[in-house]
Amino acid sequence: MSQARLMDGSALARRIVEDTAKKAADLKERTGTAPCLATVLVGADPASVTYVRMKQNRSRKAGIESRHVELPATTTTAELVATLDALSADPTVHGILLQHPMGEHIDERAAFEAIAAEKDVDGVTFASFATMSFGLPGFVSCTPGGIIRLLDEYDVDPSGKRAVVVGRSAILGKPAGMLLLARDATVTYCHSRTQDLSAAVREADIVVAAVGRPRLIRGEDIKPGAVVIDAGYNAGNVGDVDFESAAERASLITPVPGGVGPMTIATLLEQTVTAAARQLGV
Ligand SMILES: Nc1nc2c(c(=O)[nH]1)N[C@@H](CN(C=O)c1ccc(C(=O)N[C@@H](CCC(=O)O)C(=O)O)cc1)CN2
């Protein structure tokens, strides 16, 4: 029987998006300009197509214009960088989202770094990573930022807690750990070379699963009363955590779907409106 309380990302995301829509409307009224988010998709990976569509639809509902750039899977790094340079220089675009993954032949870092810092509403550049890591104002990576908002919403203070982040990707695991560190958690990163994952997870007061391996984290490894954040995206809306068994021991747990996912998009929209306001001098 499940004991954990659900951390309802859908409900919190809805409130953030409603608030963001009001700010977007206010900005348009004051400046005559609606915030604009450019989405860039390389190739046609079905999951990425879905995520980009979700971002466009929710942008529209929040009064954010979207400009979509679709590039073929054969796009080179140089071509992608040229596209991102053009969007970075375009004053009618306030935020840029480069959907990940983008193909193994592409130098992902070169592509992310082509996004102007002031338009990095997805928090993927080195500049954003630095401000995020030092707890300074700037744009956060959207999923990690959404995770911190969920923790705040459910009164989970990471200070002094042992946090274990499973996964070290540039857009998820690494920044999630840095945001928790900035909140004074004692952070351990686990990854494919970690020798005893179960032992590390068993120590955790906060577990962030961000590795993309369906049901990797099981209830028997969850410390009783731990907070479990499932940030795994796998086919069929299955998370990285075995929800049923983990919920028996956790005090709080995010569901998949309806947990971290909606928070990712809400954070993106919120940061787009912030970027637009700054660029429009409001
Ligand atoms: N440039 C980026 N690429 C990727 C990111 C990112 O933040 N920036 N994150 C993931 C995927 N992702 C957004 O791109 C994403 C995944 C899932 C959801 C979501 O809301 N999922 C729903 C379920 C969706 C459904 O019904 O099919 C949920 O969890 O409730 C949002 C965003 C990789 N790439």
Residue 89 has pLDDT above 70, yes or no: yes
Any residues with CB less than 8 A from the CB of 97 and at least 6 apart, and which? 37, 38, 39, 40, 52, 55, 121, 122, 268
Ligand 1: residue whose CA is nearest its atom 32: 261
- Distance CA(218)–CA(74), nearest Å, equals 39
Q: Could you tell me the two tokens for 30? A: 């004051």
Class of domain 31-116: alpha beta
51 CA distance to ligand 1 centroid (A)?
5
Q: Mark out the alpha helices in 134-259 (DSSP H runs).
A: 142-153, 173-182, 197-202, 243-247
Provide CATH 3.40.50.720 ranges for the chain: 142-260
Q: Could you tell me the two tokens for 152? A: 């705040």
Q: Among positive and negative, which fits the CA dihedral 210, 213, 215, 217?
A: negative
Q: Are 213 and 234 in contact (CB under 8 A)?
A: yes
Index of the ligand 1 atom closest to the CA of residue 141: 7
Beta strands in 127-224 (DSSP E): 162-166, 186-190, 206-209
Name the pLDDT band for 93 (thresholds 50, 70, 90): very high
241 CA distance to ligand 1 centroid (A)?
16
CATH superfamily of 142-260: NAD(P)-binding Rossmann-like Domain (3.40.50.720)
Name the pLDDT band for 137 (thresholds 50, 70, 90): very high
- In tens, the pLDDT along 144-167 reads 999 999 999 999 999 999 999 999
Ligand 1: residue whose CA is nearest its atom 33: 100
Q: From the centroid of its chain, how far is CA 223?
A: 25
Q: Could you tell me the two tokens for 85? A: 């340079």
Residue 270 has pLDDT above 60, yes or no: yes
ipTM over 0.90: yes
Ligand 1: residue whose CA is nearest its atom 27: 237
- In tens, the pLDDT along 184-219 reads 999 999 999 999 999 999 999 999 999 999 999 999
- In tens, the pLDDT along 22-70 reads 999 999 999 999 999 999 999 999 999 999 999 999 999 999 999 999 9
Rounded to the nearest 10 degrees, the angle between the axes of helix 260-279 and helix 9-31 is: 20
Ligand 1: residue whose CA is nearest its atom 17: 261
- Distance CA(68)–CA(87), nearest Å, equals 11
Per cent of the chain over pLDDT 90 is 98
| pLDDT for the residue 2 | 63
- Distance CA(189)–CA(170), nearest Å, equals 13
Q: Are 163 and 206 in contact (CB under 8 A)?
A: yes
pTM of the model: 0.97
Q: Could you tell me the two tokens for 20? A: 């963001």
| pLDDT for the residue 103 | 93
Name the pLDDT band for 15 (thresholds 50, 70, 90): very high
Provide CATH 3.40.50.10860 ranges for the chain: 31-116
Task: Indicate the Cα dihedral angle 30, 280, 170, 45, nearest 10°.
Answer: 70
| pLDDT for the residue 271 | 98
Pocket-forming residues, ligand 1, beta carbon under 6 Å: 51, 97-100, 122, 142-143, 171, 233, 237, 256-258, 261-262, 264-265
Q: How many degrees, rounded to 5, is the angle at CA 140 between CA 136 and CA 142?
A: 165
- Distance CA(80)–CA(23), nearest Å, equals 31
Residue 1 has pLDDT above 90, yes or no: no
> Can you say which residues are annotated as belonging to the binding site for NADP(+)?
167-169
| pLDDT for the residue 134 | 94
Name the pLDDT band for 104 (thresholds 50, 70, 90): very high
29 CA distance to ligand 1 centroid (A)?
31
Per cent of the chain over pLDDT 70 is 99
Q: Are 99 and 41 in contact (CB under 8 A)?
A: yes
